Amino acid sequence: MAAENNTLIQATVEHLRHYAPFDRMAREDLEWLAARLEIGYYARGEVVLSPEQGDAHRFLIIKQGVVQGEQDVVQAQENTAWLELHEGECFPLGALLAKRPVTSTYRAREDLFCYELGSQDFHQLTRQSEAFHDFCTRRIANLLEQSKRVIQAQYAQTSSAQQSMNSPLSAILRREPVTCPPQAPVRAALQTMHDLGIGAMIAVENGIPAGILTLHDVLDRIALPGADLAQPVIDVMSTQLTTLPPQALAYEAALAMARDGIRHVLVTDQNKLVGVISEKDLFTLQRVGLRQISSAIRNSQGLDQLKQSARDIRQLAHNMLAQGVAAEQLTQFISTLNDLLTRRLIELECQAQGFRPGAAGEPDICWLALGSEGRYEQTLNTDQDNGIIFSVPQGRTAEEVRRTLLPLAGRINAALDACGFPLCKGQVMASNPKWCLSLDEWKGTFSEWIHRGDAPVLLNATIFFDFRPLYGRHELAYELRAWLNARIKDNRLFLRHMVQNALGNRPPLGMVRDFVVDGGTLDLKLNGVSPFVDAARIFGLAAGSGETSTIRRLRASCEAWDMKKNDVEGWIDAFLYLQLLRLRLQHEQSEAGAALSNRVDPDSLNDLDRRILKEAFRQARKLQAVMERYFSF
């Protein structure tokens, strides 16, 4: 009998090892688990778990069959189950960990066999197996880490020992900062830089940085002007300092360098200097030319140079994806560089037309980024969504100003198209008179959307609520945002209409197959990313938040709406996985010379990615359920 039991235990172990997290657990922990499992059978339609059963008292792993989850204890009909679990998947983790009843009804969709473990043994297993505990407490994050390891193994372009752009600045500081007093003579500072072979000298007073002198400054501020070498070094230093704390990540320093056009970032702790990060330090991490691209954009003098920079941005994105840079960081890199390119293009077009915004008799303008660009969430496949806010100088009308600006906006939109940002098919561009408006006209447009509340109108208007200033007088956008937030906050009817629109786009989880596909494919943007974007927008607007990015809106909502942090982080992880999958898909399409799109055949994904995709869609459904509950007035 003992031999028979041992054979059964080993067979169970081998079966479980095909699924997460059991594939990462120690053999002895798996054998401990298998020895304590019992087999449960449930007929088709039978309830497995429900809120009425009280605190969850057993952990289940599906051996054979399918389980569907139902909200509000209403038996699922076709396309109404919010959750579907298949062989190898386990439940109910949250209820067991919290020692509470389940919040949904779990029902056998067909004859079902489950491995079952008592709650006491479940909690013992979480204590003795780190891999099991990690999975139970960070389910989707754990799955994402597994997927990331697969991706990095596929690309394997860099050494496994190489630090990443995810490293904290404290981990990549190379040496103690070299400093001098602000009143030290220029000659002494230069001699120290020469003797030590360093590229920057920091003036420090009481430990607090006051200025920086770089080798690049020596030419512009000392050599060419023939500066007095006896004068205090602070007189020739830049005092506009860019600082980050030691816990900031390397990619944040790279973003700051690209954004501000600098080569050094100071690392400060409670305002005291602790180190200096140079572009060379980051270059050893990136092995890509982030700083070179941003410098080339700033120095561009024509469209041809900017077109090359746009190609370089896309190549940089491909390189970073291959190096395993995370989706959140990568989309920020893309958006930051695209911002720089757009601003430079607008500057050149204004110069070419002799237009000086805000000069005597000229209107102030603010170029608005909308949609994914407004949210800092651009991927490799993005079209244009933009607009203009303008002021109306005294003695002129809005219509007169618009006639002046539209030709300029048209040239800018055409130039962006030439740089690889296709014209918006819906004509949401600054060259469209509907989106080149004075501040008062923008307020009127938003007022109409808010008060009409028609579903089709709001559906098409949602990307406008993601606006942020990109070029020109930013105060125009800030004033519009403050005005808009005051009109929307606590406007229940408008928010309810927004929620109804958002709920019209349900994640494509199927009842017969894992996914509901259209022509064999899923749209990762429409069906995957949009539910998160829409819900985050609604929560952000209702809270009066000025944030536009989906992740920042969700994190701000966690505080404003007293949501569970673990739930919010689960939604963010799911959103980032979908973004990563889009980036990988577009990278592969680009490598194959195919047109870029957001459509993927789920059958082309490996088992791990299919499982994470299902989990991401489930997280989207959970978020929608929370949104519906919060805005059920």
No. of H helices and E strands in the chain?
24, 20
Q: Which residues contact 448 (CB under 8 A, 6 or more apart)?
A: none
Q: Which amino acid is at 81?
A: A
CB 298 within 8 A of CB 340: yes
Q: Give me the residue label for tokens 């990136």.
A: 286
Report how far residue 510's alpha carbon sits from residue 532's, in angstroms, rounded to the nearest whole number: 19
pLDDT value of residue 308: 85
Q: Give me the residue label for tokens 């000086």.
A: 356
91/173 same-domain check: no
Q: Which amino acid is at 591?
A: E
Report how far residue 196's alpha carbon sits from residue 192's, in angstroms, rounded to the nearest whole number: 6
122/195 same-domain check: no
120/196 same-domain check: no
Q: Give me the residue label for tokens 């919040």.
A: 103
503/612 same-domain check: yes
Burial of 59 (0-12, 13-18, 19+ CB in 10 A): buried
- 24 lies in which domain range? 2-137
Helices 550-560/565-591 angle, 10° precision: 170
In a domain, 397, yes or no: no
108/203 same-domain check: no
CB 70 within 8 A of CB 18: no
pLDDT value of residue 159: 36
C-alpha separations of 453 from 372, 448, 526 in Å: 23, 8, 22
In a domain, 511, yes or no: yes
pLDDT value of residue 77: 39
514/622 same-domain check: yes
534/598 same-domain check: yes
Q: Which three-class secondary structure state does DSSP give residue 266? A: strand
In a domain, 599, yes or no: yes
CB 82 within 8 A of CB 70: yes
128/216 same-domain check: no
* Domain stops at, among 225, 258, 286: 286
Report how far residue 536's alpha carbon sits from residue 557's, in angstroms, rounded to the nearest whole number: 8
In a domain, 358, yes or no: no
Q: Can you give the C-alpha Rg of the chain in angstroms? A: 28
Beta strands in 480-617 (DSSP E): 522-523, 599-600
pLDDT value of residue 292: 76
Q: What is the CATH number of the domain that holds 19?
A: 2.60.120.10
Q: What is the CATH number of the domain that holds 177?
A: 3.10.580.10
610/508 same-domain check: yes
In a domain, 201, yes or no: yes
pLDDT value of residue 150: 60
Q: Which of 282, 424, 261 is nearest to 344 (CA)?
A: 261
Q: Give me the residue label for tokens 């799911």.
A: 574
112/204 same-domain check: no
* Domain stops at, among 95, 120, 137: 137
614/537 same-domain check: yes
pLDDT value of residue 78: 38
pLDDT value of residue 548: 93
* Domain stops at, among 286, 307, 328: 286
pLDDT value of residue 147: 64
In a domain, 77, yes or no: yes
Q: What is the CATH number of the domain that holds 541?
A: 1.20.120
In a domain, 545, yes or no: yes
Strand 105-108 with 47-49, pairing: antiparallel
Q: Which amino acid is at 461?
A: A
Does this model's pTM top 0.95? My answer is no
38/116 same-domain check: yes
Report how far residue 89's alpha carbon sits from residue 63's, in angstroms, rounded to the nearest whole number: 9
Taking the chain (633 residues) in consecutive chunks of 10 residues, what is each chunk's mean pLDDT?
A: 73 89 90 95 94 94 89 41 75 86 88 96 94 78 62 46 68 85 95 88 95 89 89 94 92 88 92 91 62 85 90 81 75 89 96 90 94 90 92 95 96 96 94 97 94 74 94 96 91 90 88 74 93 95 91 89 86 91 87 88 87 89 92 78
Report how far residue 481's alpha carbon sits from residue 467's, in angstroms, rounded to the nearest whole number: 8
Q: Which of 472, 627, 612, 480 is nearest to 540 (CA)?
A: 627
Q: Which three-class secondary structure state does DSSP give residue 365? A: strand
C-alpha dihedral (255, 260, 262, 268), degrees to nearest 10 = -70
In a domain, 176, yes or no: yes
| Number of domain units in the chain | 3
